C-alpha cells in the first residue's frame, strides 16, 4: 500500500471521528450551558441583552459588583435566605425592585458559573462578535434561535471535508495509474468512483442520515407555536391587571389550583370589577406594533359582550352576557395529558416558570416551547416537595418510605420528578 493511499484511508476515519465528535459536542454542550439556563430560568425577569431594565435589573457587570463570589452564588440560589441573614449587600439589592427574585435552590455551582459567564460574554458583546456580528439583533427570539444553527454549520463543514476527501481519492487514483503505467504494470480497468458500490452506499447512507435528521426535526416542530401572540377580541392586558393592579392569577384562573385546566374567566368575573371601573386611566397602552390602544374603548367592548349599559347599571341582567371568543394560545396535542393542579398545587411550580413573566405582558404570548423535551427536562431537574406537614408537600407516594431511607443513609441527596415516575410514557400520553 502506498503512503498516499494509507493517508487517504485514514482521512475517512478522521472525517468520521470529527463528524461524530461535533455531534457529541452539540449534545453535551446543552448540559451545563449557561445560555440555556439563563434563557429558561432568568430571562423572564432579566433582559436577554443584559443591559435593559426589566422586572429584574440588568445583569451585565454584576460579578464585579459582588466582592464575595460565594455570596453572589448564594444570592442566585436563594436570595430570600441571604436577605434574611442580614448580609448588607443583599439587603441593599433587595430594595432595587418592588418584586422579589425567584429562588433557584437546585442550581449547582458549575451551573451558576456557566450562567455568570454567559452574562458576561453576552453583555460585553463577545458572543455576537464571535458569530460574525450578524446576530447582534438582540432579543429573546434571536438568542433562542442561534443554538439551532450549530447542526447546520457542522453539516456544511462535513460536506466540505467529504468533498475534499473525494478529490484526494481521485488524485490518488490517477497518480497510482501513472506510476503503474511507468512501471509497465498492467492494471485492471479502474471502476469510476461513481460506479463504486462502497462509495455509492456511503453517500446514500450519509444522505439518508443528514436528510432524515433535518426532515424529522422540521416535522416535529410542525405544530409548535412558541411566541404565538394572536390578536384577541378585546385588548385585555395582563400587565394592567396582574402586574400594575396585582390581581392574583387565581382570581381569574382559579381552576388551575383545582383541576386539569386553568380555564379563562367568564364575562361575569370581569364585571365584578368593571361594573364600577368604566374608564381606563392607567399608563398608556400600545399593541405589539406600537399602535396606541384606548383602554376605555376596550372596556366598552366588554360591555357589548356583557350587555351592560353604563348609563343604567341597575338594569343589567348577568344572564344575557355573551361569552367573549378569546383565541386559545397554548395547545398541547390531544395525545398529551397535562394537569395544572398537579403542577401548581402539588408540585408548587410557579405559573411564571411555564408561562413567562405574564405580569409584564400586555397581550399574552406563548413563552415555552411545549415540546416533550421541555416537559422531560424539567422532570429530570425539579425536586419533589416532600416537605410533609398537613398543608403542603406531597404525601401520596408509596415509595416515599424508600426515598426517605435512601436520603437518610446518604444513597441519594434529593428526589426529582423523574424518580417518582415523571418520565414514564403513560403518565403523559393517554
Residues 66-105 that bind ligand HEC (CB under 6 A): 75-76, 93-94, 96-97, 99-102, 104
Least distance CB 373 / ligand HEC (angstroms): 8
* Residue 351 sits in the site that holds ligand HEC (CB under 6 A): yes
What is the C-alpha separation between 95 and 133, in angstroms, rounded? 37
Q: x-or-dash pattern for ligand HEC, window 108-147, by CB under 6 A? A: -------x--------------------------------
Beta carbon nearer to ligand HEC, 235 or 308? 235
Least spacing, CB of residue 65 vs ligand HEC, in Å: 5
**Which residues inside 286-305 make contact with ligand HEC, applying CB under 6 A?**
295, 298-299, 302
Give me 47's grid cell. Answer: 433582559
Which position among 82, 169, 240, 321 is part of the footprint of ligand HEC (CB under 6 A)? 240
* Cell 368604566, located at residue: 278
Residue among 260 and 411 whose Cβ is closer to ligand HEC? 260
Q: Which of residues 388-417 bind ligand HEC (CB under 6 A)?
A: 394, 417
Looking at the Cβ atoms of 119 and 169, the one nearer to ligand HEC is 119
Residues contacting ligand HEC: total by CB under 6 A: 109
Q: Which of 340, 403, 415, 419 binds ligand HEC (CB under 6 A)?
A: 340
Applying CB under 6 A, which of residues 50, 114, 270, 415 lies at the interface with ligand HEC? 270
Q: Which is nearer to ligand HEC, 87 or 199 (CB)?
A: 87
In sequence order, the 6+-apart residues with CB closer than 8 A to the CB of 253 are 262, 263, 264, 265
* Grid coordinates given for 309: 349599559
Q: Check binding of 345 to ligand HEC (CB under 6 A).
A: no
Figure out which of the listed residues 122, 241, 303, 419 binds ligand HEC, where binding follows CB under 6 A: 241
Q: What is the distance between the alpha carbons of residues 4 and 165, in angstroms, rounded to a whole number?
A: 12
Nearer to ligand HEC, 166 or 269 (CB): 269
CA angle 417, 263, 343 (to 5 degrees): 10
Show contacts with ligand HEC in window 147-206 (CB under 6 A). Answer: none
Interface mask toward ligand HEC for 19-58; x: CB under 6 A: ----------------------xx-xxx--------xxx-
In the list 251, 258, 325, 399, the residue contacting ligand HEC (rule: CB under 6 A) is 251
Residue 361, φ and ψ in degrees, nearest 5: -100, 135
Closest CA to 101 of 129, 84, 66, 76: 76
Q: Which three cell numbers stand for residue 37?
A: 439556563
Among 273, 318, 388, 399, binds ligand HEC (CB under 6 A): 273
Q: Which of 234, 400, 406, 407 lies at the binding interface for ligand HEC (CB under 6 A)?
A: 234
CA–CA distances in Å: residue 265 to residues 19, 138, 246, 323, 361:
53, 35, 17, 10, 18
In whole angstroms, give the CA distance from residue 297 to residue 304.
11
| CA 430 centroid distance within chain | 25
**CA-based torsion, 275, 279, 280, 286: positive or negative:** positive
Q: How far apart are CA 6 and CA 349, in angstroms?
A: 59
The residues near 6 (Cβ < 8 Å, ≥ 6 apart) are none
Amino acid at each position: 500500500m502506498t503512503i498516499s493511499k494509507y493517508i487517504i484511508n485514514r482521512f475517512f476515519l478522521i472525517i468520521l471521528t470529527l463528524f461524530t465528535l461535533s455531534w457529541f459536542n452539540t449534545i453535551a454542550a446543552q448540559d451545563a450551558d449557561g445560555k440555556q439556563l439563563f434563557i429558561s430560568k432568568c430571562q423572564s425577569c432579566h433582559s436577554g441583552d443584559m443591559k435593559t431594565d426589566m422586572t429584574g435589573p440588568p445583569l451585565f457587570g454584576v460579578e464585579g459588583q459582588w466582592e464575595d463570589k460565594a455570596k453572589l452564588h448564594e444570592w442566585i440560589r436563594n436570595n430570600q435566605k441571604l436577605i434574611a441573614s442580614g448580609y448588607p449587600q443583599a439587603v441593599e439589592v433587595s430594595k432595587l425592585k418592588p418584586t422579589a427574585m425567584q429562588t433557584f435552590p437546585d442550581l449547582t455551582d458549575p451551573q451558576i458559573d456557566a450562567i455568570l459567564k454567559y452574562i458576561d460574554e453576552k453583555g460585553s458583546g463577545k458572543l455576537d462578535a464571535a458569530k460574525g456580528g450578524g446576530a447582534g439583533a438582540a432579543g429573546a427570539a434571536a438568542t433562542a434561535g442561534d443554538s439551532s444553527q450549530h447542526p447546520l454549520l457542522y453539516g456544511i463543514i462535513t460536506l466540505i471535508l467529504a468533498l475534499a476527501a473525494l478529490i484526494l481519492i481521485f488524485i490518488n487514483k490517477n497518480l497510482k495509474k501513472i506510476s503503474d503505467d511507468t512501471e509497465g504494470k498492467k492494471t485492471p480497468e479502474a471502476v469510476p468512483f461513481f460506479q463504486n458500490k462502497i462509495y455509492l452506499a456511503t453517500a446514500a447512507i450519509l444522505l439518508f442520515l443528514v436528510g432524515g435528521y433535518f426532515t424529522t426535526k422540521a416535522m416535529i416542530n410542525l405544530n409548535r407555536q412558541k411566541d404565538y401572540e394572536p390578536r384577541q377580541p378585546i385588548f385585555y392586558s395582563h400587565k394592567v391587571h396582574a402586574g400594575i393592579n396585582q390581581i392574583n392569577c387565581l382570581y381569574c384562573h382559579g381552576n388551575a389550583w383545582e383541576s386539569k385546566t386553568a380555564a379563562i374567566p367568564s364575562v361575569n368575573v370581569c364585571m365584578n370589577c368593571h361594573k364600577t371601573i368604566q374608564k381606563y386611566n392607567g399608563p398608556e397602552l400600545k399593541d405589539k406594533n406600537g399602535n396606541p390602544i384606548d383602554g376605555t374603548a376596550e372596556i366598552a367592548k366588554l360591555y357589548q359582550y356583557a350587555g351592560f349599559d353604563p348609563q343604567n347599571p341597575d338594569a343589567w341582567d348577568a344572564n344575557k352576557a355573551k361569552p367573549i371568543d378569546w383565541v386559545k394560545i397554548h395547545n398541547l396535542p390531544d395525545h398529551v395529558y397535562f394537569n395544572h393542579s398537579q403542577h401548581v398545587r402539588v408540585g408548587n411550580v410557579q405559573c411564571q416558570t411555564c408561562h413567562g413573566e405574564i405580569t409584564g405582558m400586555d397581550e399574552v404570548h406563548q413563552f415555552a416551547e411545549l415540546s416533550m423535551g421541555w416537559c422531560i427536562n424539567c422532570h429530570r431537574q425539579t425536586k419533589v416537595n416532600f416537605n410533609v406537614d398537613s398543608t403542603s408537600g406531597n404525601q401520596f407516594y408509596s415509595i416515599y418510605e424508600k426515598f426517605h431511607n435512601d436520603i437518610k443513609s446518604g444513597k441519594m441527596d434529593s428526589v426529582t420528578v423523574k424518580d417518582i415516575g415523571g418520565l414514564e410514557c403513560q403518565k403523559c400520553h393517554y
